[in-house]
Structure 1
């Protein structure tokens, strides 16, 4: 499917048809396709960990170990040759999906920068997840393992326009340009009917903390996956990077959870020299620890209990060497002294996030309705690039009665750059000759806003296609760069 639409865009350009007209053609073709029951974007292959956070206890849980049911997303091949059913009855869940993201700049880049250009990009990935219930296989009660592989391809267009803060295609990067990249591989023991969950192995921290399956209803990296400021520190792992870690979650009440973890900070977790394939298991790169804690409340509101919400507050302490964004070891601005930036052994980050469905469409499926989202992430101003980020978004599924499985959404994020980073930029620009600025900047970095909207078309079983529009206000958080607009699309094909 993604190949078809990439070829369509290329054909339209070759015939000198406008980009906007090419997008209209693509949307029209998709709207004419047969519709069947389906979900919209849910980040299916990697969402099991998130769903286990976002699922309240049953009304009367048992007091014995139990493996929570594995998710079974709607797929193109529901049960090929009976394979899926045969595996699941034996405790094995195998899922596979493809996500593709295309973006095309419809505005020209800021003049005076020969490396900037107006262009387009395509990026994507194939995910394969394997979940095994060892209670069914060898009688090991409450124990399961979860393994996730990915294969990524392509590039992202925002860098062509001078922005390095938020990819216009979230899928880009981190996969090592290899056929198989290991994301996670860990074991999980669930006790007391789901009241306690203990996990350990190769984990991705931000798949469970400050996480939501709703984020990837969008495409821009400022929001999809997780708000970008949540992984501002170089040691925080987010999909597709994993590290050694341990996490425990408890549910003292049905709709309340508290979780904490210890993750071992590794150098270069997104770099290819050590982590290209994800199979680097030794401890040679470990330089410290990350300790996150999160408290969540998950009410299901409304008379018919069809309005789920998630309210979470959390933070983490990071004990690993991080460079100061302004001072050197002597307490002077390193931009002036020319010395190495001061290393800080302790730093931190915090978050508060909310999503709440406020309206359920009775003619839609169980996920139909209007959900509002909002949050703020605040980081240590001495070591961060993004001092804080705020966001607001909504997703409305099934608001058109004749299209009960389509969805419309919009998101806006605002990022404030840390004061030390801005001050360092000012000093670097004042030097004669001017120094090269950090973070690929070509001017003073201060703040940036990104707006995105899309309409998700449910094409057929397991296939979703979403025309997308993005606008960057102050790309790369620089006032000297003019606003940039992108059009494109995101597609997802759930294969198994």
Structure 2
């Protein structure tokens, strides 16, 4: 089976085509953290210039290189219209055999491969250039997603092997977000409102999607432990305000109505359902960060601290109505009137190489959730991103990431009690959930302008946080093509 998985990749015309070009053509400047959807996190990760103006103006739009030079794109940008189209594709195949058994769930586990991806379109409009509205811009993204993810084949439901899976509604066009933003005083104040993905602005970094696995890419999975938190490609109505009291510090907060079922097809299949009839509460995040630049302007860092409150009642993961074990008593779960989440996220470039944007960057962070209502009590992550360490390949990137997830003790104790009673378990579990580790090692090859191809290796320790499941190893690749 190991050879069959490798055969899938070797027989793929993508694989052969990319590598043949890789060895024959020079590199140009593009990185995976400049794809569609990363613009909000890029803005929040960009401190003000040293001699920043106080003039009200629209912040610069994301402008990644494209595979084909398009005069129309340049003509539109001069008039304030930024239109981007890209595709991200992710393949992963297991090279280890899954745990097999006769109990429900185990009999469906298999060794196999999967492919998932998305095509995306982004439209940014600078209404200052187009209509004279100083500092005002609008942003809109739509996606279409396809395929499936390999981790479920060996029993893991916590962390996707391919991040570009799910949430797209299985439709040709799914609206991710659509909102307006006013930028004042040279970027010192920014106010936004509309259909927004909260976790594109809060607990966000454009560096996360240098990786493919869903425990890390997009955002560390612990931050969206609750389905009430809107993360790409889901959105809710929202309002956010961000201020920069000094050039290297920002403070931001907002209010995001909680819409029941934001990741469910019945409510948000296309993303264009705006009636708000399913609003059941609100999420209120707050975040501050220090963004220093060391080494004479060559070593940027980001030190973020944040928290959020969810006003919607949620079920306790252990207690029943009378503060006993719901799993033992069979009574309804206790209701908590609110819940919360906190995070610390740090990244710092340690070394700078000759090429612009190159260097060694270290990342680490902790997400700690309300232990009474969460599945993931906390998640710790670390990563190294080494871009341009080969002089002849200045825009290639070597990456390693690791996430450790600790399941809330109430979940573990409840599952143990349910097993003793011979009852089915929550969270697609086939054993007691305790903790899990996901690692990824990859090498992003800048093939030609607008094309990145990333062979990778993923390793799951305790899939689904269960000790009764074998560890899983996967080989795969991620490709990104920027068309315009």
Give your verdict on TM over 0.5. yes
Take 1:286 and 1:33, find their aligned partners in 2: how far apart are those partners? Answer: 54
Is the 8 Å Cα contact of residues 35 and 461 (structure 1) preserved in structure 2? no
Q: 2:87: which partner in 1?
A: 98
Is the 8 Å Cα contact of residues 198 and 249 (structure 1) preserved in structure 2? yes
Take 1:132 and 1:156, find their aligned partners in 2: how far apart are those partners? Answer: 34
TM-score normalised per structure 2 = 0.96
Q: 1:337: which partner in 2?
A: 329
Q: 2:223: which partner in 1?
A: 230
3-state SS of paired residue (1:411): strand
1:265 to 254, 258, 263: 258
Task: State the Cα deviation string for residues 464-487 of structure 1 (Å, max 9, x = none).
Answer: 000010000000000000100000
Q: 2:426: which partner in 1?
A: 438
User: Is the aligned partner of 1:454 residue 2:442?
Assistant: yes
Is the 8 Å Cα contact of residues 30 and 457 (structure 1) preserved in structure 2? no
Task: State the Cα deviation string for residues 101-157 of structure 1 (Å, max 9, x = none).
Answer: 000000000121211000100000011000001111111111000001011000000
Is the 8 Å Cα contact of residues 76 and 494 (structure 1) preserved in structure 2? yes
Q: CA RMSD in A?
A: 1.7
Q: 2:158: which partner in 1?
A: 165
Q: 2:363: which partner in 1?
A: 373
3-state SS of paired residue (1:355): strand
1:180 to 173, 176, 181: 173
Take 2:16 and 2:118, find their aligned partners in 1: how far apart are those partners? Answer: 24
1:44 to 20, 35, 38: 35
Is the 8 Å Cα contact of residues 377 and 408 (structure 2) preserved in structure 1? yes
User: Post-superposition shift, 1:65?
Assistant: 1.7
Is the 8 Å Cα contact of residues 34 and 62 (structure 2) preserved in structure 1? no
Distance 1:183 1:87, change over 3 A: same
User: Is the aligned partner of 1:356 residue 2:348?
Assistant: yes
User: Is the aligned partner of 1:196 residue 2:189?
Assistant: yes
Is the 8 Å Cα contact of residues 256 and 297 (structure 1) preserved in structure 2? yes
Take 1:396 and 1:292, find their aligned partners in 2: how far apart are those partners? Answer: 32
3-state SS of paired residue (1:170): coil
Task: State the Cα deviation string for residues 266-302 of structure 1 (Å, max 9, x = none).
Answer: 1100000010000010111100010000011111110
2:394 to 404, 410, 419: 404
Is the 8 Å Cα contact of residues 118 and 160 (structure 1) preserved in structure 2? yes
User: Post-superposition shift, 1:330?
Assistant: 2.1
Q: 1:300: which partner in 2?
A: 293
3-state SS of paired residue (2:36): helix
Is the 8 Å Cα contact of residues 442 and 454 (structure 2) preserved in structure 1? yes
Take 1:152 and 1:345, find their aligned partners in 2: how far apart are those partners? Answer: 35
1:322 to 314, 323, 338: 314
Take 1:294 and 1:456, find their aligned partners in 2: how far apart are those partners? Answer: 31
Take 2:177 and 2:185, find their aligned partners in 1: how far apart are those partners? Answer: 25
3-state SS of paired residue (1:42): helix
Q: 1:468: which partner in 2?
A: 456
2:46 to 52, 55, 63: 55
Take 2:330 and 2:194, find their aligned partners in 1: how far apart are those partners? Answer: 41
Is the 8 Å Cα contact of residues 132 and 146 (structure 1) preserved in structure 2? yes
Q: 1:5: which partner in 2?
A: none
Take 1:62 and 1:194, find their aligned partners in 2: how far apart are those partners? Answer: 9
User: Post-superposition shift, 1:74?
Assistant: 0.8
Q: 1:67: which partner in 2?
A: 58
User: Is the aligned partner of 1:143 residue 2:132?
Assistant: no
3-state SS of paired residue (2:172): coil
Take 1:25 and 1:438, find their aligned partners in 2: how far apart are those partners? Answer: 43
2:119 to 119, 123, 126: 126
Distance 1:68 1:213, change over 3 A: same
Is the 8 Å Cα contact of residues 283 and 309 (structure 2) preserved in structure 1? yes
Alignment length, in residue pairs?
477
User: Post-superposition shift, 1:77?
Assistant: 2.1
Take 1:30 and 1:420, find their aligned partners in 2: how far apart are those partners? Answer: 52
3-state SS of paired residue (2:191): strand
3-state SS of paired residue (2:25): coil
3-state SS of paired residue (1:353): strand
1:477 to 451, 465, 470: 465
